Amino acid sequence: MLPEGEVPFEKNDVPVGTDHTSLRKEWRNLYHFVKGGNDSLSKTRRESMFIQMLEGLHPQEADILCLVKDKKLEAKYKLSRSVVEQAYPDIQWGGRS
């Protein structure tokens, strides 16, 4: 539920490992940005929360989140079911390939 395109945020220039937060910690808040997650938020509040999240992340993680927002992650990273299964071997995979 965020507009497509470049997000105006200040990149967090702290060294790796000293970031304010990480996607590992912030995943719980991602529901605010998808339809059906928290539809009661105003557009302005949702965009403000997204910018705050990006500014707290390492620049590489912020870039990944922006690619996901614009549905362009696969344009930069080659993803396939087998790659995901290798990364997460303990998950029970069902359904389609």
Tally of structural domains, the chain:
1
Place of tokens 């059906």: 36
In a domain, 69, yes or no: yes
State the chain's mean pLDDT as an integer: 90
- Please give the sequence-ordered ranges of beta strands (E in DSSP) within 1-97, or none if there are none: none
Specify the pTM: 0.81
Residue 58, judged by CB atoms within 10 A of its CB (0-12, 13-18, 19+), counts as buried
- Read off the pLDDT of residues 63-87 as tens digits, 9 standing for 90 and up: 999 999 999 999 998 888 888 888 8
| Residue 8 confidence (pLDDT) | 96
Task: Give the domain extent around 78.
Answer: 23-87
- Tell whether 53 is covered by a domain: yes
Structural domain includes residue 7: no
Assigned domain for 83 exists: yes
**Per the domain annotation, does 11 fall within a domain?**
no
Answer for the pair 60, 15: CB distance below 8 angstroms, yes or no: no
Residue 13: inside a domain, yes or no? no
Domain membership flag for residue 74: yes
**Helix H or strand E encompassing 10:** none
Whether 80 is covered by a domain: the verdict is yes
Task: Give 20's pLDDT tier (boundaries 50, 70, 90).
Answer: confident
